[in-house]
Structure formats: C-alpha cells, structure tokens
Amino acid sequence: MSKPVALITGAHRGIGAAIAKKLGAEGFALALAARSLDALNAFAAELSAQGVEVAVFPADVSDASQVEALFKGVQEKFGRLDALVNNAGITRDGLLLRMKEEDWDAVLDTNLKSVFLVSKAALRLLLKSSQGRIVNVSSVVGVTGNPGQSNYAASKAGMIGFSKAMAREYATKGLCVNVVAPGFIESDMTDHLNEAQKAAALGAIPAGRMGSGDDVAAAVSFLVSASAAYVTGQVLCVDGGMAM
Ligand code: NAP
C-alpha cells in the first residue's frame, strides 16, 4: 500500500507550510502547489531532508488550465489523493468606497474560485480514497466581517457556504468537507500590518496572543484523520476565542 497523499495549496510558507510539516510528519506523502516554483523547491528540499515524500506543482490555482495541469501531475506522480487542503489565499484590503474592481476580482478568484476549481478537479481521486477529506482554510473574517476587507470577507464566507453544500453532496460517499477559520495568525499576511493595526487585533483576541501556523495545522491534522470520519460541513475557528 502506498502512503496516503495530501495536496496542499499555498504550501511553501506561513500556514500552508505548517500544515505541510505536520501532515508530512504524520505519514502523508505531499503534493505542494503555489505559483513560485523556487519557493516550492526550497521548501520541498527541507521536507525531503526530514524523510517526507514530496512533489511540487507550480500552479496559479485561480486558473482552470493550470489546475487541470496540476491534477495531471498529481495523477502521474502519485495516482491517488486522500486529503486536499485549500489554503492559498491573498488580501487586497481597502474601504469599500475606494476598492477597485480588480482588487475584488483578484481576491474572489484566488480565494474562492480556486476552491471550486481545485475541489472539482480533486473529486475523482478523493472519491476513490477510503478516507477522502477536504479542509478549506477560510478565516474568522468570513464569520464576523471586518472593515476594509469586504472582498476578503466575501471570499471567506463563500468558502463556508461552498463547503457546506459540498459536504451535503458527498456525505454518503464518505468524503468529509470541513472549514478551518483561523483568527490572527503570525505570517507574511499579517507581518505588513502596522503596530496600531496589530494592537487593535490583539485587543479583540480573548486568548491575548496571536496564533501560529502550528495552531492551525493541529486542527487540519484532526480533520484529515480517521478520528474525524463523522465530522463534515463544520467550521472550526482557530482564533483564540475571537469569534465565539
Ligand atoms: P501567506 O503567508 O501570504 O501565504 C499564502 C500562500 O498562498 C503562499 O504560499 C502563496 O504562494 C500562495 N498563493 C497565493 N496566491 C496563489 C495562487 N493564485 N495560486 C497558488 N498559490 C497562491 O498567507 P498565510 O497567512 O499563510 O495564509 C494562508 C491561508 O490562511 C490564506 O487562505 C489566508 O487567507 C488564511 N488566513 C490567514 C490568516 C492570518 O492571520 N495569517 C488568518 C485567517 C486566514 P505564491 O505567492 O508562490 O503563489
């Protein structure tokens, strides 16, 4: 029997990298996707040195033809897929009055259309797995909203609706589809915030600290495990209590 295979998008840094390290350590072979091939190769070399079986697939997950090529690659390299983690995401923040249509489109295409494209392409392989799993990395902002992030909040709320619909469609086939909604997590995405923005965010976290990629990876690890076989259509907030 070959190892179970997990495909992680947006996988070479931040939350995606933490998820990859965790699932690799737990015995998954990894298919890693993102746009930057150099960054993917550097991260894959790090994982390989730790004994993880890993292959990289450069792809813009908002582009249908690149997603098609990605799955051709996964089929050829591994011939199976057991877990899909849709993690790739971007922000283009701004108050609605000033938000450009291109900022709306970029965020909706990268964060939401990608989930449609990648999940649909993954279905054939996932349904063959005895333990098919999808985990979509949304955000607490998709649950609560956030000023200056109408595009991002819409994309992340859209992921939740999509996941619940898909969970209902495939529950009888043993495919579980769930959402992890991180709060304020240390990564490149939050590094660019100024001190005032960071202080405001910290003030809204009952736990009093930012989260880490490892906090999110632990939740993903549970949701892709055999222990979560009866959990589908759920939103697990990993947010230090922000959205309770
Ligand atoms: P990050 O450090 O900016 O990493 C984002 C990853 O997504 C990168 O690997 C990037 O690689 C990839 N990516 C971006 N656009 C892509 C595209 N079109 N096609 C393929 N890959 C793409 O972000 P992060 O903080 O780790 O966030 C990961 C996920 O968690 C995102 O969905 C984000 O919305 C969500 N999240 C983050 C936080 C937080 O506080 N950090 C909170 C809630 C939710 P390339 O640039 O090479 O493509």
Q: pLDDT of 168-196, one tens digit each?
A: 999 999 999 999 999 999 998 888 889 99
What are the φ and ψ backbone dihedral angles of 121, each rounded to 5 degrees? -65, -30
pLDDT in tens, 194-235: 999 889 889 999 999 999 999 999 999 999 999 999 999 999
Q: How far apart, in Å, are the Cα atoms of 38 and each of 14, 52, 125, 133, 197?
A: 16, 18, 27, 28, 32
E strand residue ranges, 26-150: 29-34, 54-58, 83-86, 133-137
Q: Which atom of ligand 1 is nearest to the CA of 60?
A: 19
pLDDT-derived band of residue 82, with 50, 70 and 90 as boundaries?
Answer: very high
> Whose CA is closest to atom 9 on ligand 1?
10
Q: Which atom of ligand 1 is nearest to the CA of 35?
A: 48
pLDDT in tens, 10-69: 999 999 999 999 999 999 999 999 999 999 999 999 999 999 999 999 999 999 999 999
Classify burial at 233, counting beta carbons within 10 Å of its beta carbon; exposed 0-12, middle 13-18, buried 19 or more: middle
Residues taking part in catalysis: 152
